[in-house]
Chain A
Amino acid sequence: MSLPALIFVGLFIFYPLAQMFYLSLFRWNFVSPNMVFVGLENFRRMFLDDPVYLRSLLNVALLAGQSSAIQIPIGVALATIILRYRRVGRLFWAIIFLPYVISSVAVSLVWTWMYNPYFGSVNVFLRTVGLGFLARPWLGDINTALIAIFGTVNWIYIGLTTTMTIATLRSIPPSIFESARIDGLSGFQEFRKITLPLLKELIVVLMIIDISGAFKFFDLIWVMTQGGPSDTTHVTTTWLYRAAFRSSEPGYGAAIGVTVFVFSFVIVQFMIKVVRSKLTR
Chain B
Amino acid sequence: MRRRLRLVILGIVLALISAIMIYPLLWTVSTSFKTNRELFLDPWGLPSNPTLENYIKALERGNMGIAVVNSLIVSLSSIALISIIAPLAAYATSRVEFRLRTLVSNLLIAGFFIAPHAVLVPLLLLLRDLGLIDTHLGLILSYVGWNLPFAILFMKAFFVSVPQTIQDSAKVDGLSNYSIYTKIMLPLALPTILTVAIITFIGVWNDFLFAFVFLRSPSNFTVPINLLNFTTGRYGNDYVAQSAAVIISAIPTIVLYTVFAEKIRRGVSFMAFGR
Contact = CB atoms under 8 A, between A and B. Distances in A.
Interface string A74-96: 00001001000100100010111
A17 B119 contact: yes
Interface stretch (B10-18, B165-173, B189-197): B10-18
B266 interface: yes
Contact of B114 (A8, A85, A101, A265): A265
B125 interface: yes
A164 B275 CA distance: 13
Interface in A76-128: 78, 81, 85, 88, 92, 94-106, 109-111, 113-114, 118-121, 124
Interface in B7-63: 10-11, 14, 17-18, 20-25, 27-28, 31, 39-40, 43-44
A257 B213 CA distance: 15
Contacts of B141: 8, 12
B253 interface: yes
Contacts of A99: 21, 25
A54 B237 CA distance: 34
Interface in B82-135: 84-86, 88-89, 91-93, 96, 104, 107-108, 110-111, 113-123, 125-126
Given A205-B273, A261-B118, A2 B268 contact: no
Q: Per DSSP, are chain B's interface residues mostly helix, strand or loop, or mixed?
A: helix
Contact of A103 (B84, B96, B208): B208
Interface in A1-39: 1-2, 4-6, 8-17, 19-20, 23
Contacts of B22: 95, 98
A163 interface: yes
A241 interface: yes
A264 interface: yes
Contact of B126 (A15, A167, A244): A15
Contact of B265 (A97, A250, A260): A97
Contacts of B175: none
Interface residues of A, number: 84
A159 B178 CA distance: 41
A139 to B, nearest CB: 14
Q: Kindly name the residue among A88, A155, A257 whose own CB sees the greatest number of chain B CB atoms within 10 A.
A: A257
Interface stretch (A64-72, A142-150, A211-219): A211-219
A83 to B, nearest CB: 13
B227 A9 contact: no
- Size bracket, chain B contacts: 35 or more
Interface string A206-242: 1011001001101100110000000000000100110
B119 A20 contact: yes
Interface string A251-281: 0011001101100110011001000000000
Contacts of B43: 119-121, 124
9 contacts: A10-B107, A95-B21, A103-B249, A105-B206, A106-B227, A106-B250, A159-B21, A257-B120, A264-B115
Interface of B: 10-11, 14, 17-18, 20-25, 27-28, 31, 39-40, 43-44, 84-86, 88-89, 91-93, 96, 104, 107-108, 110-111, 113-123, 125-126, 141-142, 144-146, 148-149, 152, 177-178, 181, 202, 205-209, 212-213, 223-225, 227-228, 231, 239, 242-243, 246, 249-250, 253-254, 256-257, 261, 264-266, 268-269, 271-273, 275
State the 5 A-B residue pairs at the shortest beta-carbon distance, nearest first.
A12-B145, A5-B89, A103-B206, A167-B269, A1-B92
